[in-house]
Structure 1
């Protein structure tokens, strides 16, 4: 039943609870969303680093130019290796810009989305938040990037990815599954202190019910306060049989929906007949 996906973080058999598929490791470690059991992990303190504020890595840089090509014509830009961008700021009109597809792809690979980057434009260089990146799911090509000006003195709410470390003993048991529930966690942080990732230690996941929670995560760097429920489960150990039964119920529900669709197909005829009745009233 169980499958094993081994990577640099050495966390086999960790399954995405939303997709029911094992995770492949990405970059320097598999990124997942998980949680921990009170018997194994200490929950006495939040994951934020208050005593020792970890240094945030040097910011990535992204060169940008003003963009005059708008609307559907931006397809031509993409064919030339240029990605349309918009620089947004609260209370101000959006500024159309364009960036190199190669440079943007490099930032996506190092997971800079949701992080501050130094935007280099002809006029100046300024820190902005790489707010979101649109990717064509069919071609896996970059489509658009949204950059956001932020007040560096005010905390903002952002989603930060979760990385796992250690080996989950439960993953060695064919009757158990380590399920992923969260891939990202929402946090509040100063823009310059946004963690590059939140780390969850899965080495204490041994038996059914063991879990890693949001409060068990620690920041790889920077400083933050959790916005999500500290008790929200990030990773959990469950019985493989329970997962199989849940999947069987989902399959049955799909069959019932398909059968119901055939019955509903006759409904439009009844509706058409009703529409032909003369209107009554004033």
Structure 2
């Protein structure tokens, strides 16, 4: 992923909860830019611009920031959102350089047919929908594709089965997806027998 997307921003001097609330009322989001070998830089980002950007680009897209001293490239390190409205509340940015590896989470994208186990009535359980990777910024994938078509009931898909050129920072045996066996419905005869069992037990107790 080599393209960059511009994100308007400006330095901010006021910090703290009251300053953050004031920024949000003005339609701006408190942000902090880390990395670059210097101290963290407090910024203000237009909320509408960030929301629109995330609608059309993956969360790990490379951003171009216009700041005093020139343009700087960054990626979203962390994004805090409101638990109910999902509106962004704060964003942490990490400055990147072409020759310096970064560590970020990348989403997993399921491709291909439904797993065999699902086609036979099983349930796909998503244990993890993203993994942490380390690579150069230009090598950072938008997502890692996962083909689960051959996954059957009772089986799991692990980190060791991922096909990606970047380093995944998790043990190979880490489970990402698994297929839960389908629930077996009782036949009418079995259901009737199960219902009759308590009555038979009660009658036997009464005869003793």
Q: TM-score range by the shorter chain?
A: 0.7 to 0.9
Unpaired runs of 5+ residues, structure 2, are 185-208
Q: Which has the higher contact order (CA 8 A, sep 6+)?
A: 1
1:215-254 aligned within 5 A: 215-219=160-164, 223-241=165-183
- Deviation at 1:164? 0.2
Query: What's the TM-score once normalised by structure 1's chain length?
Result: 0.58
What residue in structure 1 maps to residue 120 of structure 2?
173
Contact 2:3 2:62 in 1 (8 A): no
CA RMSD of aligned residues (A): 2.2
Say whether residues 1:93 and 2:35 are aligned partners.
no
Contact 1:113 1:132 in 2 (8 A): no
Say whether residues 1:78 and 2:20 are aligned partners.
no
Say whether residues 1:197 and 2:143 are aligned partners.
yes
Separation of aligned partners in 1, 2:72 and 2:19: 28
3-state SS of 2:49 partner: helix
- Deviation at 1:145? 0.9
Higher strand share: 2
Separation of aligned partners in 1, 2:72 and 2:37: 18
- Deviation at 1:97? 1.0
Contact 2:73 2:97 in 1 (8 A): no
Query: What's the TM-score once normalised by structure 2's chain length?
Result: 0.77
Q: Which runs of 4+ in 1 moved over 4 A?
A: none
Unpaired runs of 5+ residues, structure 1, are 1-55, 243-282
The size of the alignment, in residue pairs, is: 182
Structure of larger gyration radius: 2
1:83-122 aligned within 5 A: 83-89=29-35, 92-110=38-56, 112-122=58-68
